Amino acid sequence: GKYVKVKKDSCIACGSCGASAPDIFDFDDDGLAEVIYEGDNNRGVTLIAADLQEDLQDAIDSCPTSCIKTSANAFA
Ligand code: F3S
Protein backbone atom coordinates (compact mmCIF):
# COMPACT_ATOMS: atom_id res chain seq x y z
CA GLY A 1 0.00 0.00 0.00
CA LYS A 2 0.90 3.65 -0.27
CA TYR A 3 0.35 6.87 1.57
CA VAL A 4 -0.42 9.94 -0.49
CA LYS A 5 -0.63 13.68 -0.14
CA VAL A 6 -0.81 16.65 -2.49
CA LYS A 7 1.98 19.21 -2.39
CA LYS A 8 -0.52 22.00 -2.67
CA ASP A 9 1.95 24.79 -3.38
CA SER A 10 2.67 23.07 -6.71
CA CYS A 11 -0.94 22.22 -7.60
CA ILE A 12 -2.38 24.31 -10.43
CA ALA A 13 -5.97 23.18 -9.82
CA CYS A 14 -6.20 21.32 -13.11
CA GLY A 15 -8.75 18.90 -11.64
CA SER A 16 -7.35 15.79 -13.24
CA CYS A 17 -6.61 13.85 -10.07
CA GLY A 18 -10.15 14.14 -8.76
CA ALA A 19 -11.49 12.95 -12.09
CA SER A 20 -9.19 9.92 -12.05
CA ALA A 21 -9.57 9.07 -8.37
CA PRO A 22 -12.66 10.71 -6.87
CA ASP A 23 -12.49 8.48 -3.77
CA ILE A 24 -9.04 9.85 -2.95
CA PHE A 25 -8.98 13.49 -4.10
CA ASP A 26 -11.29 16.44 -3.79
CA PHE A 27 -10.71 20.18 -4.11
CA ASP A 28 -10.61 23.05 -1.67
CA ASP A 29 -12.30 26.42 -2.20
CA ASP A 30 -9.42 27.50 -4.46
CA GLY A 31 -9.70 24.35 -6.56
CA LEU A 32 -6.49 22.93 -5.17
CA ALA A 33 -6.46 19.18 -4.70
CA GLU A 34 -6.30 17.48 -1.35
CA VAL A 35 -6.53 13.93 -0.13
CA ILE A 36 -9.99 13.41 1.37
CA TYR A 37 -9.78 9.61 1.58
CA GLU A 38 -11.02 8.27 4.94
CA GLY A 39 -10.81 11.75 6.47
CA ASP A 40 -7.09 12.03 5.77
CA ASN A 41 -7.37 15.80 5.27
CA ASN A 42 -4.22 15.77 3.09
CA ARG A 43 -2.04 14.66 5.98
CA GLY A 44 -0.79 11.59 4.12
CA VAL A 45 -1.32 9.30 7.08
CA THR A 46 -4.02 6.99 5.69
CA LEU A 47 -3.03 3.87 3.80
CA ILE A 48 -4.78 3.79 0.44
CA ALA A 49 -6.67 0.54 -0.10
CA ALA A 50 -5.34 -1.90 -2.66
CA ASP A 51 -8.42 -1.63 -4.83
CA LEU A 52 -7.75 2.09 -5.33
CA GLN A 53 -4.11 1.76 -6.37
CA GLU A 54 -4.97 1.83 -10.06
CA ASP A 55 -7.02 5.02 -9.66
CA LEU A 56 -4.21 6.51 -7.62
CA GLN A 57 -1.63 5.72 -10.28
CA ASP A 58 -3.88 7.19 -12.97
CA ALA A 59 -4.13 10.39 -10.93
CA ILE A 60 -0.38 10.57 -10.43
CA ASP A 61 0.24 9.99 -14.13
CA SER A 62 -2.30 12.66 -15.05
CA CYS A 63 -0.94 15.41 -12.82
CA PRO A 64 0.86 18.02 -14.95
CA THR A 65 2.98 19.32 -12.08
CA SER A 66 3.84 16.02 -10.37
CA CYS A 67 2.62 17.36 -7.05
CA ILE A 68 0.95 14.14 -5.88
CA LYS A 69 3.48 12.54 -3.57
CA THR A 70 3.43 8.94 -2.35
CA SER A 71 5.40 7.10 0.25
CA ALA A 72 5.60 3.60 1.66
CA ASN A 73 5.43 5.22 5.09
CA ALA A 74 3.00 7.73 6.54
CA PHE A 75 4.04 11.33 6.01
CA ALA A 76 5.29 13.07 9.13
FE1 F3S B 1 -3.50 19.67 -8.79
FE2 F3S B 1 -2.21 17.80 -10.05
FE3 F3S B 1 -4.61 17.35 -9.15
S4 F3S B 1 -2.23 19.96 -10.58
S5 F3S B 1 -5.63 19.31 -9.26
S6 F3S B 1 -2.83 17.75 -7.93
S7 F3S B 1 -3.78 16.58 -11.03
Q: Is 17 in the pocket of ligand 1 (CB under 6 A)?
A: yes
Q: What's the structural domain count of the chain?
A: 1
List Cα–Cα distances, 57 to 29, 30, 41, in angstroms: 25, 24, 19
Per the domain annotation, does 9 fall within a domain? Answer: yes
Inform me whether the pLDDT recorded for 66 exceeds 90.
yes
Per the domain annotation, does 18 fall within a domain? Answer: yes
In this prediction, residue 12 carries a pLDDT of 98
Residue 5 pLDDT grade (very low, low, confident, very high; cuts 50, 70, 90):
very high
3 state DSSP class of 34: strand
Per the domain annotation, does 23 fall within a domain? Answer: yes
Q: Which residues contact 37 (CB under 8 A, 6 or more apart)?
A: 4, 23, 24, 25, 46, 48, 52
pLDDT for 7-65, tens place per residue?
999 999 999 999 999 999 999 999 999 999 999 999 999 999 999 999 999 999 999 99
Structural domain boundaries enclosing 42: 3-71
Per the domain annotation, does 76 fall within a domain? Answer: no
Per the domain annotation, does 57 fall within a domain? Answer: yes
Q: Does the ipTM surpass 0.90?
A: yes
CATH of the domain at 34: 3.30.70.20
In this prediction, residue 1 carries a pLDDT of 82
In whole angstroms, give the CA distance from residue 15 to residue 11. Answer: 9
Q: Is 49 in the pocket of ligand 1 (CB under 6 A)?
A: no
